Amino acid sequence: MARVRLLHLSDLHVALRLLRMRSSRFEAHIHHEAVRFVLGLGQQGIDAVLLGGDLGNSGWKEDLDEAKKYVTGPWPPGGIAWPSMSQVGKPLLMLPGNHDRFVAPWLATPGNREFDRVFNPTWTSGRGGVQTFLLPGDDQPLLALVCADFTLAHEHDASHHAGHWGQGRVYPAVLKKLVAETVRCRALPTAPAVAWVVHFAPEFPNLSSTLQLIDEHDLTKAAAQNGIKYIFCGHTHIVGHGPSPTQPAVTIVCAGSVSCVNSGIDTSLHVLDFDVDAGQIQRLARLDFYWQPGATPGTGTFVQKHSKPPWP
Ligand SMILES: [Fe+2]
């Protein structure tokens, strides 16, 4: 049995100009602490850091450049020194979320492609893209994380008015690429185990329709048909995991938000330990670390707490 250890962060919502939305108010000092946490964990054998989308609070270049400071380092090149997650020396994996596709901080029209430019070469698959990250590396991969961008291409693809703020859609063309990439990975010489990563949380219980992944059942059905045991996601800002209500062989694993602090949400990050054998994930263990504010405003740290029971 081989072990792959992943740090799963989602929903950073970094912004230069804050949209004071209930679910996406972020605190810069938590970002700094999250970077320190990542760099500390780097000493303890993590293989990669997965950023599950909504790195920026909008797809506006200035917001994404600010997010990039925390992720891959100072911008512009040669700018001031700024601790970043890339200093952990392990692969950074990422995909965009709905906020990363907003046209501007004050305009939540979807479809912005700025994320693809700012985070090139880490995310190279573009809008509606599917991209595979092999772990622990390309040489002898044990685990393939296949990431799919289900963000809305157009405002009118939402199911109702204002849905474009928080909805995604399982576009058939993207799903087809996701399945094809899964088949390709399984045919690699090492026959790695395959898991899927999306930003939106499919079949998450009691989720507002404005945050829904439209046609989510198509995704879980395809996962079951292709032997995918786990779909990793974020977006809800609530920690949760459990079997898909419609496809019980598929487990949905949802991260909290690493740096948003509002009542009713989970400010958290997660360590995922995969035990892999014979091209299958035999066991997944998750360690949850929650933000605990310090006595002084602007201070705090992440502390481990017991995992919640399945689904919130
Ligand atoms: Fe989101």
8 A C-beta contact, residue 141 and residue 2: no
Provide φ and ψ at 232, rounded to 5°: -100, 140
- Distance from the CA of 297 to the center of ligand 1, in angstroms? 27
- Distance from the CA of 127 to the center of ligand 1, in angstroms? 15
Nearest to 177 by CA among 117, 132, 229: 132
- Distance from the CA of 277 to the center of ligand 1, in angstroms? 33
8 A C-beta contact, residue 211 and residue 236: yes
C-alpha to C-alpha distances, 168 to 150, 171, 216, nearest whole angstrom: 6, 9, 9
- Distance from the CA of 2 to the center of ligand 1, in angstroms? 32
- Distance from the CA of 233 to the center of ligand 1, in angstroms? 10
- Distance from the CA of 21 to the center of ligand 1, in angstroms? 12
> H helices within 11-166, ranges in order?
28-41, 61-71, 114-118
- Distance from the CA of 188 to the center of ligand 1, in angstroms? 32
- Distance from the CA of 189 to the center of ligand 1, in angstroms? 35
- Distance from the CA of 102 to the center of ligand 1, in angstroms? 11
- Distance from the CA of 190 to the center of ligand 1, in angstroms? 34
Q: What is the pLDDT along the chain (312 residues), one digit of tens a residue?
A: 899 999 999 999 988 765 545 445 667 888 889 988 888 887 778 999 999 999 999 999 989 998 998 898 765 555 566 778 888 889 999 999 999 999 987 788 999 999 999 999 999 999 999 999 999 988 899 999 999 999 999 999 999 888 999 999 999 999 999 999 999 999 999 999 999 999 999 999 999 999 999 999 999 999 999 999 999 999 999 999 999 999 999 999 999 999 888 778 899 999 999 999 999 999 999 999 999 999 998 899 999 998 777 766
Task: Give the integer Cα–Cα distance in Å for 235 and 243.
Answer: 18
- Distance from the CA of 87 to the center of ligand 1, in angstroms? 26
Q: Which residues pair with 97 in a beta bridge?
A: none
Predicted structure pTM score:
0.94
Kind of pairing between the strands at 2-9 and 48-51 = parallel
pLDDT the model gives residue 22: 45
- Distance from the CA of 139 to the center of ligand 1, in angstroms? 33
- Distance from the CA of 285 to the center of ligand 1, in angstroms? 24
What type of residue sits at position 274? Answer: F
DSSP-derived 3-state class of residue 85? helix
Q: Which residues pair with 104 in a beta bridge?
A: 107
Domains in the chain (CATH in brackets) are 2-305 (3.60.21.10)
Kind of pairing between the strands at 48-51 and 280-293 = unpaired
Name the DSSP class of 179.
H
- Distance from the CA of 10 to the center of ligand 1, in angstroms? 9
What 21-24 contacts at long range (C-beta under 8 Å, 24+ apart), as own/partner pairs, is 22/262, 23/237, 23/260, 23/262, 23/265, 24/54, 24/57, 24/99, 24/260
- Distance from the CA of 166 to the center of ligand 1, in angstroms? 6
Task: Give the integer Cα–Cα distance in Å for 215 and 63.
Answer: 30
Cβ neighbors of 297 (< 8 A, separation 6 or more) are none
Nearest to 162 by CA among 213, 209, 106: 209
pLDDT the model gives residue 23: 47
Kind of pairing between the strands at 48-51 and 92-94 = parallel
- Distance from the CA of 100 to the center of ligand 1, in angstroms? 8
